[in-house]
Structure 1
Amino acid sequence: MKKNTLNILFAVTLVGLFTASCKKYLTTDSPSVLTQESIFSSVSNMNSAVIGIYAMLIGDNSYGSRVATLFPQSADDMRTSGDFSATDRRGISCYGASPDNTDLKEPFNQLFKGIERANICIKYIPKSDLYINGTDAQKATLQKLYGEALTLRAQFFYEVIRNWGDMPAQFEPSADVTNLYMPRVSTDVLYDQLLDDLKIAGDLVPWRTQSPDQNIRITKGAVKGLRARIALARGGYSLRNDTHLNERRADYKKYYQIAYDECKEVIAHPEQHSLNPVYENIFKTLHTAKRFDDAHELMFEVGAFGSNASTDSKLGYYNGLRHNGNSKFGQGGGGINILPTYFYEFDSIADCRRDVTINMFEIDADSKKVMNTATTMTDGKFRRSWTSIVDASQNLAINWPILRFADVLLMYAEADNELNNGPSADAITAYEKVRKRAYVGYESQIGTTPTDKDGFFTAIVKERLLEFGGEGIRKYDLIRWNMLGSKITETRQKLRDFKDGVGRYANLPLYVYSKAAPYNVAASTEELKTLDLINNESVYKALFTPGLGVTPTPDKAYVLKNWRAAVNEDYLTGDVKGYAIKFKPNERELFPIPTHAVNSNYNMVQNNGY
């Protein structure tokens, strides 16, 4: 079994389970499949049925690729590489996706397949004889399975809601629905149902140390963390179909209180989850069978295995560190690029997260590291060279992190600040725990934490930018804070200032000069120290001082790399290369509903503006 991967054969069981949802239309049972009754009369079969829900989390059309890497672009940190097209991944990044976008249809379908599978289990598990009359051990197992099904349905619905908004409230199996042409209902109604479900699940699913499946399946901390995240989404801003405005409700503090309470309980159990002392090890753990996370900061991750498009992931192949196909590692990375200005949001010396989150180099055909330009840096938390796979495979068995304990700490601090009109001492402590881990060895340089409400909120906004880069969180944070439009505008101006070399970017170089250097697959901060820059310059000196300012390479051994010169007007506002060029506030916070979904349900009204 690879890491926390559910590498269990469940195909025969699932054929029976998910064809049985149409059982009332059949007159005979096929001897080759299991009936609904037999599925839910066996603990083993019910376990397999729940594993079938987990299966919808992974693969190309879920967190193995598109949902994880394409849907979260773009914010003020990263963007998809390549030129704009309304019908593919670049349309998503530029906020110009059409209803026929090929990268939206199948993820939409798979998320609803996960909901349908969960609906079946949620209906039948608590009705089973073993759930009601079984042994204590059987009851405990089935309660856990029921709680997992509720949690997984919440995760699938949450993903649908935050990307498409109002949706039909189908919380029962399709076979039980008399009219499948269901209208869309408010996200408020949907979120409230999910919060209620997760309250139940939190009482059913055990803590990690009490679970027979710790590090493999959902445990209580993940349920509570997800409930806090959804509560903040419910209490935050979202695009309303009735007003076409990004708004939040008057009772929003009720939901901040839910988030506060859930996070507080998780924090009160450090034996279950705490911060990994080494930031980089969180992400290395996602790449290998060996765990580097004894603190169990990873609370909910999606397992990948099997070297195929359905059960594995393309993390590290599509996104992450760019590897030349002729390198000893094989081809990988490059689908997501860092915005140059994001690099300068980090402390230049003390914050270890920069060099983990941002790849300043790529791997060439000789398996050496070569400096990137300012616009070709890539997201750094996923790297083919951190895996043991060296063949031509596009599937690298890298897991996707859905929830970390650092997020629980920062959600707690944010909720506390909002509820108390300023941060309590505990909120400041939670915030500073995350910051001090980032500044390990330089803790005295974390700065003074603001104690007023607005100042502390601004600090939280910045800290979440630095902590979760490349983890699919930032865009959705900005939406729930009603800051996506303003941050895109602010970032475009920062990019222009970077291009022009003014303001905070006044002393940055137009060019840097570098040559290939050995790639040691060492700790990221150490790897940056051995980049070969002209005159033996450090990265700090090369990228924070004016530089040589000439285009002819002063030393033929070194290659010129555009730095400020890499950003031009086309990068800012060009029709095909421009950053977030199609964004429209109060419209493009949501994706278009795929054409097939609109055509198959006359009540599925398309989102405004599409």
Structure 2
Amino acid sequence: MVNKMKNIYNSAKIIIASLSLTLVTSACSDDFMEPDSISTFDNNYIYSNVDDARNGVNAIYSYFNQDAFRSRLSNNMAGNTDIEHQSGWNSNGDRYQIWNLDALPSNRDLDIVWTNAYRAIRDANISIEGITASGNLENEDETVRKTMNQLLGEAYTLRAYWYSMLIYYFGDVPYVVAAPVAGDNFNLPKTDRNEILSGEIQNLIEVEENMLWADETRYGVEQVNREYTLAMIARLALQRGGYYLKPDLSQARGSNYQEYYTIARDYAKKLIDLKDRPLPTDFRQIFLNNVTFQTPVNSEVLFEVPFSLNSGDVGWNIGIEVEGGPTSSHNYGSGNNYMAMPVTYYFSFDTLDVRRDVTCGLYRINTDFEPEFIDGPMNISQGKWGRHLLETPPGASTAKSTGINWPMMRYADVLLMYAEAENELNGPTMEAQNALRRVRQRAFEDADWAEKVDQYLTSVSSSKDSFFEAIVNERAWEFGGEMIRKYELIRWGIYSEKMSETVEGLKQLADEAYNGTTDLPDYMYWKLDEEGKFTILNRNSRVVAPPDETWNQVPFLLDLHDDTTTYDEWILRDWENYINGPNPGVARYIFPIPTIAVENSQGTLQNDGYGF
């Protein structure tokens, strides 16, 4: 049933994407002499009934199935951070330029994101206008009325997502809020990012109460629902109230930032009050649900992108590495991992925190379908997903298109956003502490709560600053590999600071291992037990020698040292532009507007500021 739902939903998106593009092409043609053009007739018809209106809104979702999202925004472009990283200096390729913060205006990946973002926004505007003009928002038929209000909320929420991403990557951008009409001026200037975010937040505030909860919708968490929209209000409000990069490469935040922290707190709290749910106790199962195509409602995931069974890159460019191909002994295909976990992140976890070994993959799957230790400490993978866990092997020669959904928002995020906003406004109140407490409790066994939860909360709740640091750390441990850390570091204004801490931490680990003063694993020892289970002898500490010869020895922290450069080159260079860029101490995360967009704007847009 789940697979059927995914196929039906995504097929509809693809079909209606084509229809929507046809309508837009007609709407932008020169033949507009008659008062009612064919495009106007079709658009009016589509939004006159719930079935076709559903298809019209589905067109907005189709852009999740483009490379702009499925491999770029969802994961590739969201590094480097203190918990996820990739080397960008060893190639001039498009994604390497982005990882190295030195992308050119000709960068194809930036063009893909810019183009598809505005196509999604265009289709959202068409749906918003069509639904609003249909009269069905006040229809006497309750089913029609509720459905059309839900669809309107979906369109607004999806548009807000794309504007949020455009702002994170390009700063001020054109703010288009109307459906395209022939004769309009399509070359709009940039709008201040704060104005855009304020407008999108207000739109969501106005529509959320008329939306449906996930358990009231046809596709549950595979479509935008009221839970996700409430959570997006909080997320956007924290973005609006947070720090951002100005064209002079200084960091700023609005003088009214507390107003937006209030919105974030209130709407996170509204979701908690109206639709609270216990956090699932099994942290690993949250992500195993993605791989096995399970989509429970009223649980952890509020909304996830529903990739069809022949689409999506989860388990291809993110997740546990799988060596496959036609000569392999298994039929699971090949999976890479473009974003590794710094070993500093691995050792930042409490050793009893169950999230660490779910999040940080220390093994890969070889061609014999056996787990083996990763190739050094720079290749710790996102362990939350893996194509080798698919219930039906996709084929020995497969790679992309695993069908694994991508989670966009989890309930733990709502709890931590509430705790953060409440702390910013009032300090570490008991309400803020209890929200953090719920997330911490799942991370540890009940027997450890007294020390790891209660005592920990007491120690970090002595001040607003110490509680904020606890939130920064908790979000790292909770969401590693989910590729949202970049946006958090930006809005906190500590992006460069955290990159510097990471490099210094890696150097310290290397020095201590080389000098023989570390208590951490300079080598790790692993084997497959008699049942074929992958076992590591010393995940947490250094051992002088293994108990017997059945253990494989691999350099771990010692691998961070280089006899020529002292430290491995990736330590010295992966984060360099984040620390000592055009303005040292400030990460220039803003990228140039793509060349084609600048050229097509007829002089309206240009790449000014940010050192471009």
Q: TM-score, normalised by structure 1?
A: 0.88
**Would you say 1:163 and 2:169 are equivalent positions?**
yes
| Residue equivalent to 2:48 | 41
Contact 2:44 2:130 in 1 (8 A): no
* Counterpart for residue 468 of structure 2: 457
Alpha-carbon offset, residue 361 of structure 1: 1.0
Q: How many residues align?
A: 581
SS in 2 for 1:269: helix
Query: Structure 1's 59 and 14: CA in aligned 2 closer, same or farther, altered over 3 A?
Result: closer
Aligned to 1:581: 576
The answer to whether residue 305 in structure 2 is matched with residue 302 in structure 1 is yes
Specify whether residues 149 and 409 from structure 1 end up closer, same or farther in structure 2 by C-alpha distance, changes over 3 A only: same
Pair 571,120 (structure 1): closer, same or farther in 2 beyond 3 Å: farther
Q: Deviations over 1:220-239 (max 9, x none)?
A: 11111000000001000011
* Structure-1 residue corresponding to 2:362: 360
The alignment partner of 1:344 has SS state of helix
TM-fit CA distance, 1:257: 0.3
Distance change (3 Å), C-alpha of 1:177 and 1:484: farther
- The question of whether the paired residues in 2 share the 8 Å contact of 1:369 and 1:519 is answered with no
Q: Does 1:414 align with 2:417?
A: no
* Structure 1 residues 14 and 370: CA distance shift in structure 2, 3 A: closer
Q: Does 2:499 align with 1:506?
A: no
The aligned residue for residue 385 of structure 1 is: 388
Aligned-partner residue type, residue 560 of structure 2: V
Question: Quick one: distance in 1 between partners of 2:431 and 2:571?
Answer: 47
In the TM superposition, what are the counterparts of 1:49-448 in structure 2 within 5 Å? 49-62=56-69, 64-80=70-86, 84-133=90-139, 135-175=141-181, 178-241=184-247, 243-270=248-275, 273-291=277-295, 293=296, 295-307=298-310, 312-325=311-324, 326-328=328-330, 329-348=332-351, 350-372=352-374, 373-387=376-390, 388-391=392-395, 392-393=397-398, 394-420=400-426, 422-441=427-446, 442-446=448-452, 447-448=455-456
Letter in 1 for 2:373: M
Identity across the alignment (%): 29
**Rounded Cα–Cα distance in structure 1 between residues aligned with 2:37 and 2:566:** 59
Whether the 8 Å CA contact 1:17–1:35 is kept in 2: the answer is: no
Q: For 1:121-171, what per-residue CA distance to the aligned partner results, in whole angstroms no more than 9, with x for missing partners? A: 111111014445552321221111111111110111111111211100111
2:499 matched to which residue of 1?
488
1:561 aligns with 2:566: no
* Aligned-partner Cα distance in 2 for 1:390–1:305: 13
Contact 2:320 2:383 in 1 (8 A): yes
Q: Which amino acid aligns with 1:508?
A: L
Instruction: Report the counterpart of residue 523 of structure 1 in structure 2.
Output: none
| Alpha-carbon offset, residue 250 of structure 1 | 1.3
Q: Is the 8 A contact 1:299 1:403 kept in 2?
A: yes
What amino acid is the match of 2:293? A
Distance 1:438 1:3 in 2: 34
Aligned-partner Cα distance in 2 for 1:581–1:346: 25
Q: CA deviation at 1:11?
A: 5.1
Alpha-carbon separation, structure 1, partners of 2:146 and 2:298: 26
Letter of the structure 1 residue corresponding to residue 358 of structure 2: V
Structure with the bigger percentage of helix = 2
Task: Give me the CA root mean square deviation.
Answer: 2.9
Q: CA deviation at 1:515?
A: 4.1
Cα deviation, 1:318-347, whole Å, max 9, x if unaligned, reads 111011112523211322211111110101
- In the alignment, the residues of structure 2 paired with residue 32 and residue 154 of structure 1 have an alpha-carbon distance, to the nearest angstrom, of 26
TM-score, normalised relative to structure 2:
0.88
Question: Mind listing any 5+ residue stretches in structure 2 that lack a counterpart?
Answer: none
Change (3 A) 1:52 1:93: same
Instruction: Give the distance between the partners of 2:176 and 2:293, measured in 1 at CA.
Output: 38
